[in-house]
């Protein structure tokens, strides 16, 4: 299966690349919220989850970006 076929295959009416971008944005908001809330004294989500969330965000961003680039190049 080509990357373009995977990127533009639909799930619940939207292409997979849209879901990947939405997930990346949600992870970015979660990661920044953990750092911000802990700095303000709210430890609902302990700071130990900030680094794993950041690593997951970067990995998801790379996957999302590569999927978009490879799909547009025809791979």
At 3, is the pLDDT very low, low, confident or very high (cuts 50, 70, 90)?
confident
The tens digit of pLDDT for each residue in 59-68 reads 999 999 999 9
Q: Summarize pLDDT for 17-40 with one digit per residue, the tens.
A: 999 999 999 999 999 999 999 999
Domain-wise residue ranges, the chain: 13-73
pTM for the whole thing? Answer: 0.86
Residue pair 24/56 in contact (Cβ under 8 Å)? The answer is no
Task: Return the residue matching tokens 């299966």.
Answer: 1
What region does 74 belong to: left with phi over 0, alpha with psi -120 to 50, or beta? left
């Amino acid at each position: 299966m080509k990357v373009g076929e995977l990127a533009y295959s639909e799930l619940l009416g939207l292409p997979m690349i849209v879901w990947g971008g939405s997930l990346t944005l949600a992870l970015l908001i979660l990661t920044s919220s953990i750092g911000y809330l802990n700095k303000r004294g709210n430890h609902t989500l302990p700071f130990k989850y900030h680094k794993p969330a950041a690593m997951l965000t970067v990995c998801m961003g790379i996957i999302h970006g590569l999927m978009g680039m490879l799909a547009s190049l025809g791979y």
